[in-house]
Amino acid sequence: MDYRSIGTLRVSLVGLGCNNFGMRIDAAAAERVVHAALDAGINFFDTADIYGSTKSEEFLGRALAGRRDRAIVATKFGMAVDEQRKGARPEYVTRACDDSLRRLDIDHIDLYQLHQPDPDVPIAETLGALDGLVKAGKVREIGCSNFSAEQLDEAERAAKSGAARFVSVQNEYSLLHREPERVVLPACDRLGLAFLPFFPLASGLLTGKFEPGKPAPADSRLSLRWTSRFTTDKNVRIAEALKAFAAARHHTLLELAFSWLASRPQVASVIAGATSPEQVRANAAAVNWSLSPEDLAEIDRLTP
């Protein structure tokens, strides 16, 4: 496993997204997945307070008991846990962090991320609260998610000298969603931010298990109603073309999806969910294809 940097953190190039914990798998299954990830060299675990209705953090914390020193734990706040627990006001930032620390049963969060911009709170106020958490030793690094390039620039301007600043941004990015290349990835270069892609497999469409004209496997993420936006006719056609491209080079679509993202220098870790140890091991092994310039040019042609 290769490792890259998010601020002062060294994270595995493949990370484990924990949004299935408490939603699609229980605590025992989550523990098996986490232990398989550690055994495969994965040290980066990304969760959020809202995942699994707060159960994801609890399950991750239990699974890491006795192995915390081997893990880089990232979590998020800001989306609504309920009507009282949401947003990015300074007083809530502190409460949200303490709640996550309790659920995770750890004494510090390695990467604490604002899950989405809060239009009602100046970013300088949120950054001030996050800086307080860093100075208190509760958080090591801070990041953001679902931010535009303009919002990243605004946050950089608002960060006070010597205070904590965002070191990462987590946005959707995959072979089927290349929008970050327009302005967000250049902003990462300009500001020295690590990029963390979510939905790297387009919610399962890029695993290679989906077959056109057939329903998604019953146990797959694509079988969930909210994933229908991924299975448009255009996306299915592109995925099939990419699958054929990979097969012609003796690789799988899964390997292509991971290795293509890993070829982006801004990407620090490709975060993908898993519901079984077998999926974890497949994900961990999927970044070993070094794509040539010719390969990348052909992929550009296939994914306009």
DSSP 26: -
Separation of alpha carbons 132 and 190, rounded Å: 26
Q: Which of 3, 51, 92, 112 is catalytic?
A: 51
Cβ neighbours for 197, distance < 8 A, ≥ 6 positions apart = 170, 171, 172, 173, 174, 180, 261, 267, 270, 271
Separation of alpha carbons 47 and 51, rounded Å: 7
3-state secondary structure of 182: coil
Q: How many CA atoms lie within 13 A of 71 on its CB side?
A: 26
Chain-centroid distance, C-alpha 269: 8
Nearest to 72 by CA among 102, 116, 112, 32: 112
Q: Count other C-beta atoms under 10 Å from residue 165's C-beta.
A: 21
Told to judge if 112 belongs to the known catalytic residues of this protein, a careful annotator would answer no
The pair of structure tokens assigned to 293 is 């310039």
**Contact yes or no for 113/145 (Cβ under 8 A):** yes
**Contact yes or no for 280/274 (Cβ under 8 A):** yes
Q: Which residues are designated catalytic? A: 51
